[in-house]
Amino acid sequence: MTQAILDDAWLRRYEEVLEQIREKQEHLRSVVLPRLEDLLSTAASVLGGVAGALLEPKLREVLHGTDEFVIEVGVLVESGGLPLRLGYDARGWADLHDQSTIGIHRLGITTPHVRESWQGLSAYAYLYVHGTQLNATDRLSEVCSAVAAQLVHLAKDALTFYLWLLGLVTLLELQLAGAIASAATGAGLPVACQNLMMASVVLAALRYCVQSEQQRWREQAAIFSKIVDVLTDHGTFPGGRWPPANTDGYRDGSVSDGTPTDWTAHDSVTHHGPTPS
Amino acid sequence: MGQPTPSEIRASTDAMHAEAAVWFTAAGELQATAVRTRALTIDHYDSVVFREFIEEHNAAADQVAALCQSGYTQLNDVGYTLGDVADTYQAEEDANVHAMNDLY
């Protein structure tokens, strides 16, 4: 089940990326945004009537977009712990799969002895129930494996998303710093406008990136909904419950009670059955 | 296929007890799985991005836990039943009921 395990190096990398985004978000909030606001309030007086009028609308738009985005990034970074948690949880689900597989193996080796040493209606009823129980355990194991694999997939995609986020936030930070520095002088006005245009494009890319991420999580929700469907499948788990043991069909150990549902030992015993662990 | 000897019957009932023990072990594992699965549910995250996913994820974890808990009961029932059957069969064998009535 190694494919369901994210190694420690990967998980540390994820934590580092989140921390880097957190630092950049804080820098944008506490340093860049106040400077943009200062620039906006002084644009007209510093740059003069026409220049200020050219710069101000774009500056206002970028300021507003950045302000909104800084809040959203804050929430995303705080929530970034979820994919990380899922990455760790994948190990737990993989362990459950492994444990179930051991259980299946253990149950699977029990029947040969019963087939060899017992017969009668009860033996056949028991073998049937054995099959339904084994099938349920098998299905449970498959589900645990599927969940583990899906969580690994989710966590890996989440890291990709946060790497994109980190790259775009860095780009936004650079463009805004360039705009602030250039706009301080009238001569740098064209460069400042160019920076603000780029910042605007980066903000649009960030919005698209976040929307795509939202869509991806909705798709994952749908996948998990299907997993629940498997766990309530009537064939394996009737009524969403574990298949019944139906012990009435094979609880008759007496061959002298006059009922036909007996267990009957025969003489082809070749070994002494499974060894309990 | 002839009549089983008393030692063969003893081997069969012993094996049935051993098989019952396997069911008890498997039942215990299912119960442990139920406990561990409950620990894998996710409490709460602020972002709306995750809300729908968390609901479905937790529904899956809850269902696995519920199945394991009911599986624990069913597998134990199988184990107890096999144990009872082996005891009853061996008691009748020890009382010579099978041989007297030619009931193998």
DSSP secondary structure string for all residues of B19-76: HHHHHHHHHHHHHHHHHHHHTT-----S-HHHHHHHHHHHHHHHHHHHHHHHHHHHHH
| Distance, CA of A71 to CA of B2 (rounded, Å) | 83
Which one of A231, A243, A267 has the shortest CB-CB distance to B3?
Answer: A267
Residue A6: its pLDDT value, please? 76
Q: What is the mean pLDDT of residues A152-162?
A: 90
Residue A82: its pLDDT value, please? 84
**Residue at A91 is within a domain:** no
Angle formed at CA B68 by CA B67 and CA B74, multiple of 5 degrees: 90
Tell me the pLDDT band of A121, cut-offs 50, 70 and 90: confident
CB atoms within 10 A of CB A101: 17
**With b meaning 16 or more CB within 10 Å and e meaning fewer, what string describes A65-100?**
bbeebbeebbebbebbebbbbbbebbbbbbbbbbbb
The CA distances from residue A96 to A5, A101, A155, in Å, are: 13, 8, 19
**Minimal-distance CA residue of chain B relative to A108:** B22
**Residue at A168 is within a domain:** yes
Q: Which of A246, A243, A242 is nearest to A261 (CA)?
A: A246
Global pTM reads 0.81
Tell me the pLDDT band of A188, cut-offs 50, 70 and 90: confident
Residue A110: its pLDDT value, please? 67
Six-digit token string for A121:
């209606």
Q: Give residue B66's domain range.
A: 6-101
Q: What is the mean pLDDT of residues A272-276?
A: 43
Which one of B21, B77, B89 has the shortest CB-CB distance to A247?
Answer: B77
Tell me the pLDDT band of B86, cut-offs 50, 70 and 90: very high
For residue A231, give how far its alpha carbon lies from the nearest alpha carbon of chain B (Å): 7
Residue A46: its pLDDT value, please? 63
CB contact under 8 A, A82 and B45: yes
CB atoms within 10 A of CB B103: 13
CB contact under 8 A, A272 and B22: no
Six-digit token string for A223:
């996948």
Domain count, chain B: 1
List, for residues A26-58, the tens digit of each pLDDT value. Answer: 999 999 999 988 888 876 666 666 666 777 888
For residue B84, give how far its alpha carbon lies from the nearest alpha carbon of chain A (Å): 7
Domain count, chain A: 1
| Distance, CA of B83 to CA of B104 (rounded, Å) | 19
Residues of A within 8 A of B53 (CB-CB) are 217-218, 220-221, 224
Q: Cα-flanking dihedrals φ and ψ of residue B29, to 5°? A: -65, -40
**Residue at B18 is within a domain:** yes
CA A155 to chain CA centroid, nearest Å: 5
**Residue at B1 is within a domain:** no
Residue B27: its pLDDT value, please? 93
Cβ atoms of B60 and A224 within 8 Å: the answer is yes
**Residue at B51 is within a domain:** yes
Tell me the pLDDT band of A272, cut-offs 50, 70 and 90: very low
A241 touches chain B (CB under 8 A): yes
User: Which percentage of chain A shows pLDDT scores above 90?
Assistant: 35
Cβ atoms of B82 and A118 within 8 Å: the answer is no
pLDDT(B69) > 90: yes
Q: Which of A91, A94, A86, A104 is nearest to A143 (CA)?
A: A94
Residue A271: its pLDDT value, please? 43
Bigger pLDDT: A81 vs B25 = B25
CB atoms within 10 A of CB A178: 18
Q: What is the mean pLDDT of residues A217-224?
A: 92
pLDDT(A231) > 60: yes
pLDDT(A247) > 70: yes
Q: Cα-flanking dihedrals φ and ψ of residue A118, to 5°? A: -130, 150
**Residue at A163 is within a domain:** yes
Bigger pLDDT: A197 vs A274 = A197
Residue A112: its pLDDT value, please? 66
Q: Give residue A219's domain range.
A: 14-67+146-246
| Distance, CA of A43 to CA of B82 (rounded, Å) | 88
Binding-face residues of A in 211-240 toward B, CB within 8 A = 213-214, 217-218, 220-222, 224-225, 227-228, 231-232, 237, 240
Residue for token pair 């019944």: A244
| Distance, CA of A129 to CA of A117 (rounded, Å) | 18
**Residue at A33 is within a domain:** yes
CB atoms within 10 A of CB A173: 19
A71 touches chain B (CB under 8 A): no
Radius of gyration of chain B (CA): 23
CB contact under 8 A, A95 and B36: yes
For residue A111, give how far its alpha carbon lies from the nearest alpha carbon of chain B (Å): 9
Exposure on the CB side of residue A95, measured as CA atoms within 13 A? 12
Q: A14: buried, middle or exposed (CB in 10 Å: 19+, 13-18, 0-12)? A: buried
DSSP secondary structure string for all residues of A205-227: HHHHHHHHHHHHHHHHHHHHHHH
Would you give the DSSP letter of residue A185?
Answer: S
Interacting residues of A11 by C-beta distance below 8 A, sequence separation 6+: A84, A87, A88
Residue A275: its pLDDT value, please? 44
**Residue at B53 is within a domain:** yes
